[in-house]
Amino acid sequence: MARVGFIGAGEIASAMIGTIAGDGHAITVSRRNEEVSARLERAHPGLRRADNQEVLDASDVVVLCLLAETARRELPGLRFRADQAVISVMAGMSLDELSRACAPATDICVAIPLPPLPLGGTPLAAYPASRALAELFGPHATIHACPSEEALNAHFAATGLLLPLLDQIDVGATWLAEFTGDRAAAASYLAGLLGGYCRMLTAPDAPDLARMRAGLGTEGGLNYTLSKALADNGTPAALSDGLDGLRARLGLPEKTR
Ligand SMILES: NC(=O)c1ccc[n+]([C@@H]2O[C@H](COP(=O)([O-])OP(=O)(O)OC[C@H]3O[C@@H](n4cnc5c(N)ncnc54)[C@H](OP(=O)(O)O)[C@@H]3O)[C@@H](O)[C@H]2O)c1
């Protein structure tokens, strides 16, 4: 059991607390965002709300769940301890900047959780490796160890694929509902279908993606025809260009070829 503190009580803090709340840890969360922190207190007996410094003082592991610009204002006024582990989930705050803001703490990692985390199995990209992260979230998530901070930032960029993928389900559900009259059932059908393939791809004995695509892409078949229509109108290239367009924001090098 660990003493875990969450600085910031918004969407991602709620998801992370919901993930580990049943594990017997002593959890303290910033009182900030009265509505969210009060809901967390009601939902998780034993969870305590406190001001930010009290959260730090009560914790061996501190999870930073602020917007980066808030963190730049707030963290310098807080007293961290050298024996504390820090997990930041904040996009746009480098390890270098975190090291200065959280000194004298040195056990610092950055992780990218996403709101489905409490459902289990959601990958948690992280750098550098952190024992605290593994102990707290390893039982609930697949920790995806990144080889460098740059690779972690590329994972941040890749999470931008989520909305474009949901957009495709949205278009498909609208189309399917023309025939069924039930858009929610259509969305659930398509998400379930896609989910099944995603589970195959994330299983320990996962087939190769290329093999799975080849299996679906029999020439002249339905999948082949639709995939070719998208390729012909430039959709995959637009997606790749769109990812490249996120490089500068995440401090990634420009594309060289
Ligand atoms: N949401 C995601 O899916 C996701 C995924 C990965 C990473 N992240 C990262 O997680 C961080 C938080 O994102 P979020 O979506 O959870 O944002 P959010 O819902 O806006 O939560 C931010 C929280 O910070 C609180 N806050 C503001 N000023 C504060 C202060 N001085 N002291 C303590 N708390 C303060 C806010 O309280 P008030 O509402 O009272 O202002 C709010 O509870 C961001 O850096 C984001 O990049 C988010």
For residue 139, the CA-to-ligand 1 centroid distance in Å is 24
* Banded pLDDT at 1 (limits 50, 70, 90): confident
**Which tens digit of pLDDT belongs to each residue from 130-177?**
999 999 999 999 999 999 999 999 999 999 999 999 999 999 999 999
* Banded pLDDT at 31 (limits 50, 70, 90): very high
Q: Report the pLDDT value the prediction gives residue 241, as an integer from 0 to 100.
A: 96
For residue 189, the CA-to-ligand 1 centroid distance in Å is 33
Query: Could you tell me if 217 and 224 are in contact, meaning their C-beta atoms sit under 8 angstroms apart?
Result: yes
* 109 strand-pairing partners: 87
- Arithmetic mean of pLDDT over the chain: 96
Give SS3 for 62.
Answer: strand
- Cis peptide preceding 104, ω within 30 of 0: yes
Q: Which residue puts its alpha carbon closest to atom 15 of ligand 1?
A: 11
Q: Which of 73, 89, 152, 159 to mutate to test the pocket of ligand 1 (most atoms within 8 A of CB)?
A: 89
For residue 195, the CA-to-ligand 1 centroid distance in Å is 28
Q: Tell me if 75 CB under 6 Å of ligand 1.
A: no
Q: Which residue puts its alpha carbon closest to atom 40 of ligand 1?
A: 33
Give SS3 for 30.
Answer: strand
Q: Which atom of ligand 1 is nearest to the CA of 74?
A: 31
Extended strands (E) in the chain: 3-7, 26-30, 48-50, 61-64, 85-88, 107-112, 123-127, 142-145
Q: Report the pLDDT value the prediction gives residue 256, as an integer from 0 to 100.
A: 82
Q: Tell me if 15 CB under 6 Å of ligand 1.
A: no
Q: Tell me if 52 CB under 6 Å of ligand 1.
A: yes
Q: Report the pLDDT value the prediction gives residue 174, as an integer from 0 to 100.
A: 98
% pLDDT > 90, the chain: 94
**Which tens digit of pLDDT belongs to each residue from 74-127?**
999 999 999 999 999 999 999 999 999 999 999 999 999 999 999 988 999 999
Q: Report the pLDDT value the prediction gives residue 101, as an integer from 0 to 100.
A: 97
Counting every residue written for the chain, the total comes to 257
Q: Which residue puts its alpha carbon closest to atom 21 of ligand 1?
A: 10
The tokens 């070719």 sit on which residue? 228
Query: Could you tell me if 4 and 59 are in contact, meaning their C-beta atoms sit under 8 angstroms apart?
Result: yes
* 97: Cβ contacts below 8 Å, ≥ 6 apart: 72
How many other C-beta atoms lie within 10 A of the C-beta of residue 206? 11
Q: Which atom of ligand 1 is nearest to the CA of 36?
A: 43
Rounded to the nearest 5°, which phi and psi values hold at 189?
A: -60, -50
* Banded pLDDT at 51 (limits 50, 70, 90): very high
Do β-strands 26-30 and 142-145 pair in parallel, antiparallel, or remain unpaired? unpaired
Q: Tell me if 125 CB under 6 Å of ligand 1.
A: no
Is pLDDT of 257 > 80? no
Q: Tell me if 67 CB under 6 Å of ligand 1.
A: yes
Domain range list for the chain: 3-146, 160-250
Q: Which residue puts its alpha carbon closest to atom 48 of ligand 1?
A: 12
Is pLDDT of 49 > 90? yes
* Banded pLDDT at 210 (limits 50, 70, 90): very high
- Please report, to the nearest 10 degrees, the dihedral formed by the alpha carbons of residues 33, 34, 35, 40 taken in order: 90
Q: Report the pLDDT value the prediction gives residue 8, as an integer from 0 to 100.
A: 95
CATH class of 3-146: alpha beta
Q: Which residue puts its alpha carbon closest to atom 26 of ligand 1?
A: 8
Q: Report the pLDDT value the prediction gives residue 34, as an integer from 0 to 100.
A: 87
Is pLDDT of 247 > 80? yes
Query: Could you tell me if 255 and 249 are in contact, meaning their C-beta atoms sit under 8 angstroms apart?
Result: no
Q: Report the pLDDT value the prediction gives residue 33, as an integer from 0 to 100.
A: 86
* 60: Cβ contacts below 8 Å, ≥ 6 apart: 2, 3, 4, 83, 84, 85, 132
Q: Report the pLDDT value the prediction gives residue 93, as an integer from 0 to 100.
A: 95
- Average pLDDT value for residue range 15-39: 94
Is pLDDT of 244 > 90? yes
Q: Report the pLDDT value the prediction gives residue 121, as an integer from 0 to 100.
A: 83
